[in-house]
Amino acid sequence: MKGDRVEIVVDIGDGTKTYEIAATRAGRRVEIAQARGVIEVAEVTRTGNPVRSGRFMAARVVAVIEHPSEDEGRERRRARNQSSLL
C-alpha cells in the first residue's frame, strides 16, 4: 500500500547504516523475503513485478523495521452537507 516503508539497519563494521525502501505509488507494496542467509526487501507492483529492491547479508542485518502507512485504519470521512464525489 502506498506509504508503507521498511527500514533496514545494517552493521558496517565501525557503525550502522540505515536503508529505506518504500511503496511510492498507489497499488504498490513492500515485500520482505529471507532465504539462504540473504534478506531481500522489494517494492513490487500489483502484478508482482519488482520496481526496486535491496539485498542484504542476514549476518550483517541488525534490524528490519516495518512502518505501515499512516492512512491505514482511518475511515474516509465525508462532509455532512456535500454529496459524494464518487
Residue 27 or 14, more confident: 14
> For residue 32, is it within any domain?
yes
> For residue 27, is it within any domain?
yes
User: Count of domains in the chain?
Assistant: 1
Partners of 34 in the β-ladder:
39
What amino acid is encoded at 56 in this protein? F
- Domain, as residue range, for 44: 5-67
> For residue 85, is it within any domain?
no
Report CA-CA distances (Å) from 13 to 31, 61, 62. 27, 12, 12
For the stretch 14-24, pLDDT in tens is: 999 999 988 88
**Can you give the pTM of this predicted structure?**
0.72
Average pLDDT rounded to a whole number, residues 7-11: 92
For the stretch 30-70, pLDDT in tens is: 999 999 999 999 999 999 899 999 999 999 999 998 888 77
> For residue 82, is it within any domain?
no
> For residue 79, is it within any domain?
no
